[in-house]
C-alpha cells in the first residue's frame, strides 16, 4: 500500500496536471471562437463563387477547360501521377484529430495507388508530415508555416503549382484531406476532390439569366475557375483549424474532468489512511497503558 507521503505527492502532481489541461482547454476555447468566425466569414464568398460558376458552365464548355477536363485513368493511358494534400495540425494533444486525418489520408492513398497512380504527398502541419516520414514516405512539399490563421495567400501558394501541373496534363487527380467542420462536436475527416473541378450545377434549369459576358465566356471561366480551386483550399485550411481547436478543447475538457475524479479518489484514500493511522496509534497507547496497570 502506498504511504501517506507518496499519496500526497500524487495528489499534488495530478492537481498540477489539471491546471495545465484546464488552461489548454481555455486557450483552445478562445482560439476556437475566432476560428469559427473565420469559417462563417468564408461562406458568402464560396457561395457566390458556386452560383457564378453554375451560371457560366455549360457541358460543351466543360470539355475545353484544362481544369474541368477529366483525364483518363492510368490504366487507359492517362497521367500516372496524383497528388494528395493532407492538412494536419502543428501541435498535438487534440484527441484523435490528427490520427483521424492520417487514417483518412492513408485510405485515399491506398485507393489511388490501387487505381494505378503514383501518389505525391503535400503535407501541411507537423503531425501528418511526421507520421508519413516515419513510415518512409517522402513529401513533394512540406508546409509547417501555416498556423492558426490561414490566409487566402497560403491557400493560393499551396495549390498554384498543382493547378499548373494538372493543366499541363502531368497530374491526373488532386485530392485534399481535411476536417469537415460541421459543428463543434462533429468534425469528421473528409476528402475533397480539388481537381478536376466538379463544376456546381445551376439549381433550376431554364431560368438562367441572359448575361452580357465581357470578355467571352471562355476567358471568364479561365479567370474564375482558379479562384474556385484556391477557395476550396482556403476553406479546407480554415475548417481544419477550427476542427483542431474544437477537438483539442474536447480532449482537454475530458482530461480536466478525469484529473478531478482522480484527485477525489486519491484524497479519499489519503484521508482514510490518515484516520486509520491515528486510530491505530490511540489503540496502541490504550493497550500500553492497560498493560502497565495490569
Partner 1 sequence: MRVTVISPERAVFDGEAQAVLATAFDGEIGILPNHAPLMTVLGTGTLRITTTSGAEAFRVQGGFLQVVNNSVRILAEQIQGDTDA
Shortest Å, Cβ 66 to partner 1: 18
x/- mask, partner 1, residues 227-246, rule CB under 8 A, reads x--xx--x------------
- Residue 151 or 279: which CB sits closer to partner 1? 151
Stretch that binds partner 1, among 91-99, 127-135, 160-168, 215-223 (CB under 8 A): 215-223
Stretch that binds partner 1, among 92-100, 147-155, 162-170, 264-272 (CB under 8 A): 147-155
Which bin fits 193, alpha (ψ -120 to 50), beta or left (φ > 0)? Answer: beta
Residues in contact with 132: Cβ distance below 8 Å, sequence separation at least 6, in sequence order: 86, 102, 105, 121, 123, 139
Choose, by CB under 8 A, the member of 45, 65, 139, 270 that binds partner 1: 45
Helix (H) or strand (E) holding 245: helix 217-293
Q: How many other CB atoms are found less than 10 A from the CB of residue 255? A: 19
Shortest Å, Cβ 49 to partner 1: 6
Cell of 133: 516520414
Q: Does 286 bind partner 1 (CB under 8 A)?
A: no
Q: Does 213 bind partner 1 (CB under 8 A)?
A: yes
Stretch that binds partner 1, among 51-59, 67-75, 84-92, 183-191 (CB under 8 A): 51-59
Shortest Å, Cβ 228 to partner 1: 10
Among the listed residues 131, 108, 124, 81, the one whose alpha carbon sits nearest the alpha carbon of residue 244? 124
81-87 and 118-124 strand pairing: parallel
Shortest Å, Cβ 157 to partner 1: 12
- Residue 206 or 209: which CB sits closer to partner 1? 209
Cell of 64: 475545353
CB 144 within 8 A of CB 109: no
Q: How would you class 140 by CB atoms within 10 Å of its CB: exposed for 0-12, middle for 13-18, buried for 19 or more?
A: middle
Among the listed residues 84, 128, 78, 123, the one whose alpha carbon sits nearest the alpha carbon of residue 102? 128
Q: Does 49 bind partner 1 (CB under 8 A)?
A: yes
The footprint of partner 1 (CB under 8 A) covers 38, 41-42, 44-45, 48-49, 52, 55-56, 151-152, 155-156, 209-215, 219-220, 223-224, 227, 230-231, 234
Amino acid at each position: 500500500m502506498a504511504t501517506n507521503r507518496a499519496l500526497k505527492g500524487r495528489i499534488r502532481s495530478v492537481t498540477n496536471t489539471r491546471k495545465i489541461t484546464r488552461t489548454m482547454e481555455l486557450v483552445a476555447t478562445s482560439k476556437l471562437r475566432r476560428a469559427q468566425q473565420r469559417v462563417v466569414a468564408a461562406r458568402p464568398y464560396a457561395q457566390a463563387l458556386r452560383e457564378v460558376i453554375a451560371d457560366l458552365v455549360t457541358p460543351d464548355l466543360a470539355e475545353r477547360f484544362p481544369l474541368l477536363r477529366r483525364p483518363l485513368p492510368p490504366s487507359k493511358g492517362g497521367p500516372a501521377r496524383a497528388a494528395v494534400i493532407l492538412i494536419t495540425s502543428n501541435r498535438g494533444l487534440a484527441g484523435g484529430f490528427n490520427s483521424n486525418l492520417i487514417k483518412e489520408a492513408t485510405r485515399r492513398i491506398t485507393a489511388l495507388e490501387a487505381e494505378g497512380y503514383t501518389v505525391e504527398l503535400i503535407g501541411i502541419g507537423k503531425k501528418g508530415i511526421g507520421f508519413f516520414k516515419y513510415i518512409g514516405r517522402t513529401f513533394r512539399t512540406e508546409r509547417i508555416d501555416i498556423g492558426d490563421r490561414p490566409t487566402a495567400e497560403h491557400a493560393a501558394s499551396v495549390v498554384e503549382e498543382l493547378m499548373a501541373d494538372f493543366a499541363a496534363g502531368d497530374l491526373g487527380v488532386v485530392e485534399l484531406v481535411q476536417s469537415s467542420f460541421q459543428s463543434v462536436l462533429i468534425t469528421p475527416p473528409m476528402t475533397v476532390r480539388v481537381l478536376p473541378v466538379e463544376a456546381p450545377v445551376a439549381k433550376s434549369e431554364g431560368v438562367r439569366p441572359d448575361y452580357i459576358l465581357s470578355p467571352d465566356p471562355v476567358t471568364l471561366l479561365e479567370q474564375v475557375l482558379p479562384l474556385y480551386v484556391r477557395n476550396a483550399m482556403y476553406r479546407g485550411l480554415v475548417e481544419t483549424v477550427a476542427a483542431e481547436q474544437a477537438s483539442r478543447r474536447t480532449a482537454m475538457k475530458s482530461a480536466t474532468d478525469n484529473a478531478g475524479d482522480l484527485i477525489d479518489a486519491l484524497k479519499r484514500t489519503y484521508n482514510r489512511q490518515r484516520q486509520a493511522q491515528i486510530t491505530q496509534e490511540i489503540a496502541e497507547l490504550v493497550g500500553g497503558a492497560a498493560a502497565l496497570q495490569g
